[in-house]
Structure 1
């Protein structure tokens, strides 16, 4: 709790120093949950008057990196809706789970209410064209992974990474669950489907550690069976 309070104070000073005209701010990410290390960055959403501009910045303040999600009060509603569409919901989770730092006119509170409503709806569903493209890409990556020579570890690892990402994309979409990138990819994956998700991650690890592609390929085949089957000949992209 002391660390959380200290980081909140640090984030509040950042906002006051850099955005003296801010009407709202909220601290998100691990810092808001009190789960940080000495090198952790700060995720801070800032609301500015409509005379300013919406943007994303990465700065260093008092020796610590800070990623700033900056929106005007006129843009924040549209930004939250767009965040649902990209299926990662980064901004939605900041407003839902974050720690308010400043809220002069209630804009942060209203944005939190909207974010929670959008999170409850779940991420936007894939269109039929997006499903077909996902199945086609995953099928291609799986086929190439199986065919990759075990002596060419560069190709194996590159294909394993692409295969995992596309499989996660389809599996989370199947469950209408939020997805992620970086460290959030395995976290969101295991939340969405612990059994199939762990099979994918274990298969990916076996490729990395042993050059064994069979487990990952088998896990991918289960995802494809779940989402309409492999797609090769007959695929058309318009």
Structure 2
């Protein structure tokens, strides 16, 4: 059977919306194809707004030569997703809406894009001193495990956990959004390109050679402005007398 020809992203998105969501009030094409970062495995991310829907849902398709991921909302459900992403400090929905290329618009997209833009520019909720102290403890615990471990298999996964904790700590204490998976590096670059290079270099050196020194130095440098490693005296959940 002959493979379906892959159309240009915008053309495919327009045909897809017309075919599957003909009555929607708005649709935007987002994701890597919009950012100019598409690879041969990239799909199309399309956010749909349909006032007649009772609830939001996500659905995947293969059509017009593309894998297509849809994020389908009515004219209010997207706000709860904005709020969830705000609480997680990972504004994926806001980014999709703001960067998205309009595919269909019956006069609703400007206000939704404005909401997304304001949330992105304001940044996530600032951490309290109590949260910072708790995060210091968990990073200290992971770092101590990393330093003391001599089992290569275990070291790999401790390093993974430490990298996520360090990225979260440096970004949240500086009022920045965080990421997951490939968005960890993207979020770090948005904060500080030089720090990101040092972060990647430190963990790459460990994964390639087993040398922990750069990861340890980087971790301690991140913690130093907040008093360094924290263990003695830390408690969690203890009732105050």
TM-score, structure 2 as length reference: 0.88
- Matches of 1:103 and 1:25, distance apart in 2: 7
- Matches of 2:38 and 2:173, distance apart in 1: 32
SS of the residue aligned with 1:57?
A: strand
Which of 19, 22, 25 is residue 20 of structure 1 equivalent to?
A: 22
On the 8 A contact 2:53/2:73 being kept in 1, the answer is no
Deviation at 1:236, TM superposition (A): 2.4
Number of equivalent positions: 231
Residues 127, 66 of structure 1: alpha-carbon distance in 2 compared, 3 angstrom cutoff: farther
Gaps of 5+ in 1: none
Matched, 1:122 2:118: no
Gaps of 5+ in 2: 1-6
SS of the residue aligned with 1:84?
A: helix
Deviation at 1:220, TM superposition (A): 0.4
Matched, 1:40 2:39: no
Matched, 1:92 2:77: no
Residues 128, 15 of structure 1: alpha-carbon distance in 2 compared, 3 angstrom cutoff: farther
Instruction: List per-residue Cα deviations over 1:174-225 (Å, max 9, x = no partner).
Output: 2211211111111211221233332222111111000111110110001111
On the 8 A contact 2:29/2:44 being kept in 1, the answer is yes
Question: What is the aligned partner in structure 1 of residue 171 from structure 2?
Answer: 172
Counterparts of residues 59-98 of structure 1 (less than 5 Å):
59-98=61-100
On the 8 A contact 1:27/1:101 being kept in 2, the answer is yes
Residues 19, 159 of structure 1: alpha-carbon distance in 2 compared, 3 angstrom cutoff: same
- Matches of 1:138 and 1:22, distance apart in 2: 46
SS of the residue aligned with 1:102?
A: strand
Deviation at 1:60, TM superposition (A): 2.6
Question: What is the aligned partner in structure 1 of residue 196 from structure 2?
Answer: 197
Matched, 1:154 2:156: no
On the 8 A contact 2:124/2:175 being kept in 1, the answer is yes
Question: What is the aligned partner in structure 2 of residue 10 from structure 1?
Answer: 12
- Matches of 1:132 and 1:60, distance apart in 2: 47
Residues 71, 228 of structure 1: alpha-carbon distance in 2 compared, 3 angstrom cutoff: farther
TM-score, structure 1 as length reference: 0.89
Instruction: List per-residue Cα deviations over 1:20-73 (Å, max 9, x = no partner).
Output: 232111111121134323321111111122533112333333342222222210
- Matches of 2:187 and 2:11, distance apart in 1: 29
- Matches of 1:58 and 1:154, distance apart in 2: 35
SS of the residue aligned with 1:39?
A: coil
Question: What is the aligned partner in structure 1 of residue 141 from structure 2?
Answer: 140
- Matches of 1:167 and 1:55, distance apart in 2: 33
Deviation at 1:228, TM superposition (A): 4.2
Residues 55, 233 of structure 1: alpha-carbon distance in 2 compared, 3 angstrom cutoff: farther
